[in-house]
Amino acid sequence: METIADNQKVRTAKKLEKMFGHIDYKHPPELCPVRDVMSVASDQWSTLIILWLGYFPILRFNKLKKFVYGISNKVLSQRLKVLEADGYISRKAYAEVPIRVEYSLTEFGQSYVEKLLELTEWMQANSPKVLANREKYGLL
Amino acid sequence: METIADNQKVRTAKKLEKMFGHIDYKHPPELCPVRDVMSVASDQWSTLIILWLGYFPILRFNKLKKFVYGISNKVLSQRLKVLEADGYISRKAYAEVPIRVEYSLTEFGQSYVEKLLELTEWMQANSPKVLANREKYGLL
DNA sequence: TTCATATGGTTACTTTTTGTAACTTACTCT
DNA sequence: AGAGTAAGTTACAAAAAGTAACCATATGAA
């Protein structure tokens, strides 16, 4: 038997489907494109890596480590692997001694970093507000 | 004494300062505006919460929990607190029984979600590429 | 010769963050 | 009386992240 709550659920589900089929109410996370790409976007280290590669076309491991201030070898190495596998960056190793490895954005990564830069512009402009809010709530 | 490497460092540092004073080479993370705002942007759950509140102006705890598929009570409750403290959302509790709590975006949160939506549009458009890359590298 | 430095990582161990699932309070509906 | 609802909290387990030492190989310095 259908209750009022059920009715509401159905209406909501239909409304959702119309408005944004891409984020379905009952969508398993692993099938949601937003979440999928967000596995990179919502990782601070990956985001910083991509941003720095957006500023400098080619960066080597240790240079990257200096720019992405505070990252550990372990996490940097791990993120680089994932970013490469996902097609954001490419890795070129030269058979020199000591070995030289160059990281750079792929075309895909380049298109992503452009979007990302728009978001960081907002961040820079609005950061004072966040800080003000935090002070207001006694978080600083 | 200044070595070639040191020279390069100085030049790089100056170049950086000119190009993007906002992400300083030796900047402590806690003073970097991008990282600061990114503490929200680079959290998947916070991002999804804000996106849903961007679609529906007012959402209650359990509704939000259904939309942000897979989030636990614990994490939802925690993220809502932080988002409120940072000024992205506001919380209104009504002294009813059972208690009713309404969450909505602040003006600041609204301005943020607009930027965020631009990024998710890119995600939706480019998700197939990510999936293709993953397949190519045997990650699927 | 031996020590120090550099590269691009890896490994073992610890700490922090997440996820899971049960529980709470106070009232309503059956 | 028993179940259900709202908005969480709590204790415990699992996963992720941080820390620091280590690796091979070579060059340059003492």
Give 10-residue mean pLDDT values along chain A (140 residues). 29 40 41 72 89 91 88 93 93 90 96 90 80 55
Smallest Cα–Cα separation from A89: which of A60, A65, A68?
A60
**Helices then strands, each counted (H, E), chain B:** 6, 3
CATH 1.10.10.10 fits A39-136, yes or no: yes
Q: How far is CA B24 from the centre of its chain?
A: 21
B44 touches chain A (CB under 8 A): yes
Cα–Cα dist B89/B106, whole Å: 5
Q: Is the dihedral of CA B48, B67, A31, B125 positive or negative?
A: negative
In a 10 Å sphere around its CB, with 0-12 CB exposed, 13-18 middle and 19+ buried, how is residue B104 labelled?
Answer: middle
H or E element at residue A89: strand A89-94
H or E element at residue A54: helix A44-55
A 63-92: CB within 7 Å of strand C? 63, 73-74, 77-78, 80, 91
Contact A118 B120 (CB under 8 A): no
B134, two tokens:
């993953």
B117 touches chain A (CB under 8 A): no
Instruction: Count the alpha carbons within 13 Å of A103 in the hemisphere toward its beta carbon.
Output: 27
User: DSSP character for B139?
Assistant: -
A33: amino acid identity, one letter: P
Cα–Cα dist B118/B128, whole Å: 17
Cα–Cα dist A83/A92, whole Å: 14
Give tens-digit pLDDT for B42-74. Answer: 888 999 899 889 988 999 999 898 888 888 899
Q: Where are the alpha helices (DSSP H) in B1-72?
A: 4-19, 33-41, 44-55, 61-67
- Nearest nucleic acid nucleotide to A98, CA to C1' distance: C7
B 71-110: CB within 7 Å of strand D? 73-74, 77, 80, 91, 93, 98-102
- The answer to whether the beta carbons of residues A53 and A109 sit under 8 Å apart is yes
- The answer to whether the beta carbons of residues B40 and B49 sit under 8 Å apart is no
Helix (H, G, I), strand (E, B) or coil at B109: helix
- Tens digits of pLDDT across chain B (140 residues): 222 222 333 334 344 434 333 333 444 444 566 777 777 888 889 998 998 899 889 999 998 988 888 888 999 999 999 999 889 999 999 988 788 999 999 999 999 999 988 888 888 888 777 767 666 654 43
Sheet of A89-94, strands arranged across: A59-60, A100-105, A89-94
A113: amino acid identity, one letter: V
B115 touches chain A (CB under 8 A): yes
Cβ of A97: how many Cβ atoms within 10 Å?
6
Question: Which CATH architecture is the domain B44-136 placed in?
Answer: Orthogonal Bundle (1.10)
| A1 CA → D17 C1’, Å | 49
Neighboring chain A residues of B137 at a CB cutoff of 8 Å: 85
A135, two tokens:
């002070």
